[in-house]
Structure formats: structure tokens, C-alpha cells
């Protein structure tokens, strides 16, 4: 049988992503999966800024991507034919499907969607997004009640989850996002205490105003000037969590490093990075907590659903232009 | 009676230090110290890069310095006349004398020199220098036997102490310093495993060569490009200790921030700053360990002794030009 696939056509290093970095092809796969294997149909693809790093081949915590590889990415797939001992036909799984409409898999790296929430939650609040927010915030940020937490890229899927989790943990939460609509959503819907619109406001004076005793936890998804502004306003003993650096991807070149890193000395601060996979053994337990919070109405999530497999590269590029509202997904099949 | 004093004449902000930032004056002090007080004669002054930050008035962990204040600094002084309940005439004390030949003190912030080593050790290996090396390395760096430790500004008083302590702790130690003489001293005298001469070698390829499995502990006294080069080569789980940033002082302007900070994510690294005074309660115990190591021949220290009170500003400026060999002190009286 035939399947459409998006292959990596070029490494987007040192420049923004382009549609021509990917090539749409038709490939032949067997419709008999073979012993121990299964035929999967991709229903949704999920998108994440880290995918640009994978395509650049600079993220050495994952296997390198080569030109001609099927573009790597998460998805939700239905088991259409199974000779796999654990997964039955009709089940919905989540895993690294890659950008392909159909695939044959031995099941490694796939798991069932969580029963307590709609399937798309597995690409969002219960997926790497939600787990990243949880682990970054609680394992590195160590928020305590009354702490002031500032989140950049706050309207993104990870940022908005981290901010809501910090609220649950008794903190005062300020989000930084681009544009009045995102900022209004943060305060009105996601329950943030305040939001700063970096496109229309000066970030540093607003931080001074909103966090007069300094920032206890920085949760940074952006890097560049916004990270520098946050570092300038940290409180004594601050924890600075480096979760992402979308400003790096947007321009395609490394932004200037944070000149105010030396404030880590004056404020006895800690700046840390992490790879969420290091805590994989804890994911089931963390997922259950996240699902409970969603069901209790204390954690909102939203997806930005685009349509059509042929739009995969364009959908990924939405992230770097800040066009997505919530977790970016693409519906590929019903 | 009269005493000479150096007063702060200008805040050296955003530019290198100049001799004209200080003004030499003669002041009148009482030769009767009064009840509970004592008359001290300064014998040596000690110099530290942090003094530029104090003079700039940007280091908010100490009281601000104003134009016309006696320049703040450490010194060793003899008690010449005492009406103090704890200190007797003839005793040698260490504390914040400031840049003055004579002073009257209530004793706050002064303590006796350690009996086990020559008095000058209190401005060096047993002073803030040695305590900073110990606390930065052991409390933040957490070195383990077999770790690769890289020290920038390694020939400086703090750097050379930190490197030797890392050797005692079973680590492989690489120093970065300027010029062949300093590098030879590190390897031949201080027992470092290797040294990189940043004035004559490319730092990053040399680090790759000398630390093929990556750097476990970075101990940075410099900032700027050298910090960036070290961050590029950190190992998984690295601890990056920000101890100082002399490159900031040398140019007078903030150097670019470390672009490679994002390696903290790929390598799950931690970057931290500290103020050594936070561990003041532990200083007596740490000092004893340092003195024991010196007496066991496992920790070397050297002082660069200049002469004459009138040379205090010039002596401070030696630090920012990398002219000092070991801890910079100035002999003021016999």
C-alpha cells in the first residue's frame, strides 16, 4: 500500500525554517505488518519547537536526523492491523509516528492514550508539553507558596501549563507573551495574576512594577532579550529554569547570551537546563496528577488544530511566528 | 594625630579603573581611641577584583560606597593602643581596615590572624580568597574523584587555590591563564594536570583535546568568551560555578553574555553564583582545613607584595591587567 511522507530535505541550520526544508513523497509500505508488528494510521501530528533542533541535527540528546529521513515527530495513531502481542486493532496509541500517514511499527516507544481525557491531551497537557512543564517547574524551579514566578512564552502550550501549575502551588504568576489577545487569555482564562505584552510594553520596567521583591522562579521558553530582562530582576536565591529558547529558532542564529548572567552571583541564583526524558520513569504518575488537575477544572489546555497532511511543514512554522494558540496539532485523518 | 587615606573620588562605572578615581588626603584622628575602642595601624592591604564593583556601587550585597568615603578594602593591622575588651596591644588583626594608614575601630568585623600560618595568609589562602575557592568548589561545584575540573583565571589567588583543592579531591584539573609563565607555574608548582594559555592558544579546541569526555565542573573567574568556550564543552550533569567575571572589569563594560548557555539544556547542566559571606558561620572550620592542607604541603599560595601606601590605586589596577602573580597585597608599614 501507499503512504505519503514528509522527508527532511535540508538541515535548517543558522537560518529560519523554510517549507523547502521538507519534501513530500509517496512511499510503499506492506499492509501486512509481519509478526510482532502492527500497521498504524496517523490521526494527528503534534508540533514542538524542539523539532527544528532535530532537523538542524544539533540536538545531540536524540539520534541525528539525516537528509531523506522521514521527519521526526509525535503523533496519535490508530492500530489498523495488529500482530503485536500487546496492542489490539482499534486502539489509539501515542508515540513518535514521524510525518507519515501510515507506518508499520514494532510498538517500541508507543503507548496507549490516557483513558481519562480526550486523545489529543496526549499530545498536549499529558504529553511532552505537560510533562516538561511539570518537571521543569517542580524539579528545577522548586516553587514555594508566595513565590513570584515569571514565565516567558507563557501563552504557549508548555508555558501556560507551567503557569497554571505554579498557581496550584500557591505562587503569584506573571506571564510574558506577544500581543493583547494572548495576554488577555493568560489572565482571563488561564488564571495568571498578570501578563506582560512584550510586543507593546517594556518588559523590564513592567517586571520591576509587577515583581517589586524580585522573581523567585524564572521559567524561560524564549532566551535572548527576554531572558536577560528576567535575569535582571531575580530575587535572592532565584531558580532560573531554561526550558526552551524559541528566540534562537525564530532568527535562525544564536541570540546574544544573557549579559545579566552575573546577577546569579549577586543574587545567589541557580540556572539549570533539563531534558524531560531523564524522568521518564515518573511519567505515568505525573500524567495522573495532570489529568486529575484537568478534571478538577484547575488546569486548562487548548489545541490549535490545523487540517491536512500536506500542511505539516507550514504547521510547524506557525510555532516560530507565534501564530499558534495553544498546542499546535494537525489533523491528518478521521 | 594624622593619617593618610585614599578616598573614592569617582564611581568607575562602564569604564576601566583610573588612578584619578581615588584621592589621597591627610585626615586627623584621635590617638586616644576611647572606651571599648582601639587604635590600629595598617601593615598590609589586600586587593580583590570585587573592589571595583564596590567602587562602582553596583554590588548590592555590600553597603553602597559614596564619593568621599575611605576606599573599602581588607587589611592586616596591629593594635597599637587598646581600650577594647577582647583585643590587646600588639595583636595582629584582619578585617576591613579600608585604605588608611591608621584607624580607630570598635573591633566589629576584625579577628585575630590564624596562629598556624604567617599573617599574610589571612589576606590570601585563609582569607576571602581561600574561603571563596573552598565554598565555590565544594558547595556549588560538588567535585567527585575522576571529574574533569576547568578553572579560568587559574593563576589568580582564588583560581589557583580552587584548582589545588580539586586535585586534593581526586579530580583532573585544567587551568586557563594568560601567558606561558603563569601556565608553567600552574603545572610545575601548583600541580595542575594541564594549562591552556588563552593569549597564545585557541581555548575551545584545546579544551576538546584535554577534556574529551567533557567538563564536569567549570569554575569561572573571567566571564566573556572564555566562559562561553567552557560552556561549549560541558559534560552531562555539569556544574558551572560563577565565581568572578574579571573580563567585565577589564573593559569596563559588560562583555557579551554566554551564547552557549543553552548547552545547560542539552547537558542538563547547572550554573550558579554565590556570595561567600553567606557561609560565614563555617569560616573557622574551613580555615582550619585550609591551614592543615598548607602545612601538609598540599596547598601552595603566593603573594605579590608591592610597597608603599601611596601606591594603593596602582596596586589595585594590577589585577585588571593580569600583572599580579598570586594574591596582590601592598605593604604599608613594618
Q: How many CA atoms lie within 13 A of A134 on its CB side?
A: 24
Q: What is the pLDDT of residue A141?
A: 97
Per-residue 3-state assignment (H helix, E strand, C coil) for chain B? CEEEEEEECCCCCCCCCCHHHEEEEEEECCCCCCCCCEEEEEEEEECCCHHHHHHHCCCCCCCCCCCCCECCCEEEEEEEEECCCCCCCCCEEEECCCCECEEEECCCCCEECCCCCCHHHHHCCCCHHHHHHHHHHHHHHCCCCCCEEEEECCCCHHHHHHHHHHHHCCCEEEEEECCHHHHHHHHHCCCCCEEEECCCCCHHHHHHHHCCCCEEEEEECCCHHHHHHHHHCEEEEEEEEECCCHHHHHHCCCCCECHHHHHHHHCCCEEEECCHHHHHHHHHHHHHHHHHHHHCCCCCCCEEEEECHHHHHHHHHHHHCCCCCCEEEEECCC
B-facing residues of A in 235-274 (CB < 8 A) are 242-245, 248, 254-274
Can you tell me the mean pLDDT for A112-139? Answer: 95
- Range with the lowest mean pLDDT among A1-5, A198-202, A256-260, B264-268? A256-260
Instruction: Tell me which chain A residues have a C-beta less than 8 angstroms from the C-beta of B273.
Output: 262-269
The rounded distance, in Å, linking the Cα atoms of B54 and B47 is 12
- Per-residue pLDDT at A178: 94
Residue B57 predicted with pLDDT over 90 = no
* pLDDT value, residue A244: 86
Percent of chain A with pLDDT over 90: 87
Interval A148-187: pLDDT, tens? 999 999 999 999 999 999 999 999 999 999 999 999 999 9
Q: Which residues of chain A have a CB within 8 Å of the CB of B262?
A: 223, 242, 245, 248, 254, 273
User: Which whole-number Å values give the CA distances from A15 to A8, A253, A258, B262, B270, in the listed order?
Assistant: 15, 6, 21, 17, 28
Which residues in chain A are closer than 8 Å to B260, comparing Cβ atoms? 257
For residue B257, the chain A residues in CB contact (below 8 A) are 228, 256-261
* Comparison of pLDDT for A63 and A170, the residue scoring more: A170
> How large is the average pLDDT for residues B177-205?
97
Q: Name the grid cell of A89.
A: 486493532
Interface contact A261-B264, CB threshold 8 A: no
Is residue B78 over pLDDT 90?
yes
CB contact under 8 A, A269 and B267: no
Span A254-295, pLDDT tens digits: 777 898 999 999 999 999 999 999 999 999 999 999 999 999
B277 vs B58, which has greater pLDDT?
B277
Nearest CA in chain A to B270: A272
Q: Which residue has the cell 601556565?
A: B183
In the predicted model, what is the mean pLDDT of residues B231-237?
Answer: 96
Q: How many CA atoms lie within 13 A of B322 on its CB side?
A: 22
Mean pLDDT for the stretch of residues A193-201:
97
Q: Is A90 helix (H, G, I), strand (E, B) or coil?
A: coil
| pLDDT given at position B36 | 95
When pLDDT is averaged across residues A281-310 and rounded to a whole number, the result is 95
- Rounded CA-CA distance B245/B49 in Å is 9
Percent of chain A with pLDDT over 70: 97
| A62 band by pLDDT with thresholds 50, 70 and 90 | confident
Nearest residue of chain A to residue B245 (CA atoms): A262
Tell me, what's the pLDDT at B246?
A: 78
Q: Quote the CA–CA distance of A11 and A13 in Å, as a whole number.
A: 6
Where do the domains of chain A lie? 2-124+302-331, 128-277
CB A158 within 8 Å of CB A219: no
Q: Is A92 exposed, middle or buried (0-12, 13-18, 19+ CB in 10 A)?
A: middle
pLDDT tens-digit map of A40-54: 999 999 999 889 989
User: CA-to-CA distance for A219 and A80, rounded, in angstroms?
Assistant: 41
User: What pLDDT shows up at residue B22?
Assistant: 98
Cα–Cα distance list, A223 to A27, A50, A186 (Å): 39, 14, 20
Contacts of B168 (CB under 8 A, 6+ apart): B293, B298, B299
Q: Which residues contact B236 (CB under 8 A, 6 or more apart)?
A: B214, B267, B268
Q: Which three cell numbers stand for residue B270?
A: 547547572
Look at residue B32 in the predicted model and tell me its pLDDT. 92
Query: pTM of the full predicted structure?
Result: 0.86
Cβ–Cβ < 8 Å for A286, A309? no
Nearest to A262 among B245, B267, B278 (CB): B245
Residue A252: is its pLDDT beyond 90? no
| Closest A-chain CA to B60 | A266
Q: Write b or e for each residue in B170-193: b if 16 or more Cβ atoms lie within 10 A of its Cβ, otherwise e.
A: ebbbbbbbbeeebbebbeeebbbb
Mutate: best of A213, A250, A261, A274, partner B, most B CBs <10 A: A261
Confidence bin at A251 (pLDDT 50/70/90): low
pLDDT, position A325: 86
* The listed CATH number (3.40.50.2300, 3.40.50.11720, 3.40.50.720, 1.20.140.10) that belongs to domain A128-277: 3.40.50.720
Report the pLDDT averaged over residues B166-186: 96
**The pairing of beta strand A111-112 with beta strand A92-95:** antiparallel
Residues of chain A with Cβ-Cβ distance to B271 below 8 Å are 261, 264, 270-272
The radius of gyration of chain A's CA atoms, rounded to the nearest angstrom, is 20
Taking residues A190-202, what's their average pLDDT? 97
Q: What is the pLDDT of chain B when averaged over all its residues?
A: 94
Average pLDDT on A81-98 reads 97
What pLDDT, on the 0 to 100 scale, is given for residue A64? Answer: 86
Task: Tell me: pLDDT of B247 over 80.
Answer: no
Domain covering A2-124+302-331, topology: Quinone Oxidoreductase; Chain A, domain 1 (3.90.180)
CB contact (8 A) between residue B268 and residue A245? no
Give CA–CA dist B125/B133, Å, rounded: 9
Residue A218 has pLDDT above 80, yes or no: yes
Query: What average pLDDT does the segment B32-48 reach?
Result: 96
The mean pLDDT of chain A is 94
Amino acid at each position: 500500500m501507499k503512504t505519503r511522507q514528509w522527508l527532511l530535505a535540508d538541515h535548517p541550520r543558522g537560518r529560519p525554517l523554510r517549507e523547502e526544508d521538507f519534501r513530500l513523497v509517496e512511499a510503499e509500505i506492506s499492509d501486512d505488518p509481519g509478526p510482532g508488528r502492527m500497521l498504524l494510521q496517523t490521526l494527528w501530528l503534534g508540533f514542538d519547537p524542539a523539532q527544528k533542533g532535530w532537523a538542524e541535527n544539533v540536538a545531540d540528546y536524540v539520534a541525528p536526523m539525516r537528509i531523506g529521513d522521514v521527519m521526526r515527530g509525535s503523533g496519535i495513531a490508530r492500530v489498523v492491523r495488529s500482530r503485536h502481542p500487546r496492542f489490539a486493532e482499534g486502539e489509539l496509541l501515542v508515540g513518535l509516528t514521524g510525518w507519515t500517514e501510515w507506518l508499520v511499527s514494532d510498538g517500541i516507544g508507543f503507548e496507549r492514550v490516557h483513558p481519562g481525557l480526550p486523545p489529543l491531551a496526549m499530545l498536549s497537557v499529558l504529553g511532552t508539553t505537560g510533562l516538561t512543564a511539570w518537571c521543569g517547574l517542580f524539579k528545577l524551579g522548586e516553587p514555594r507558596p508566595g513565590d513570584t514566578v515569571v514565565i516567558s512564552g507563557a501563552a504557549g502550550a508548555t508555558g501556560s501549563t507551567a503557569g497554571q501549575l505554579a498557581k496550584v502551588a500557591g505562587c503569584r504568576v506573571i506571564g510574558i507573551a506577544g500581543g493583547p489577545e494572548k495576554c488577555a487569555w493568560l489572565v482571563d482564562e488561564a488564571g495568571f495574576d498578570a501578563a506582560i505584552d512584550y510586543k507593546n510594553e517594556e518588559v523590564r520596567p513592567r517586571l520591576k512594577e509587577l515583581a517589586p521583591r524580585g522573581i523567585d522562579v524564572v521559567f524561560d521558553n524564549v532566551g535572548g532579550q527576554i531572558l536577560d530582562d528576567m535575569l535582571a530582576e531575580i530575587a535572592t536565591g532565584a531558580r532560573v529554569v531554561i526550558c526552551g529558547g524559541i528566540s534562537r529558532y525564530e532568527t535562525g542564529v544564536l541570540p546574544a547570551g544573557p549579559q545579566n548572567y552575573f546577577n546569579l552571583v549577586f543574587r545567589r541564583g541557580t540556572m539549570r537546563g533539563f531534558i524531560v526524558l531523564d524522568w521518564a520513569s515518573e511519567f505515568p504518575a505525573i500524567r495522573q496528577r495532570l489529568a486529575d488537575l484537568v478534571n478538577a477544572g484547575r488546569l486548562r489546555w487548548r489545541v490549535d488544530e490545523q487540517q491536512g497532511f500536506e500542511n505539516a511543514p507550514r504547521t510547524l512554522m506557525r510555532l516560530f511566528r507565534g501564530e499558534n494558540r495553544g498546542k499546535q496539532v494537525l489533523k491528518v485523518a478521521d
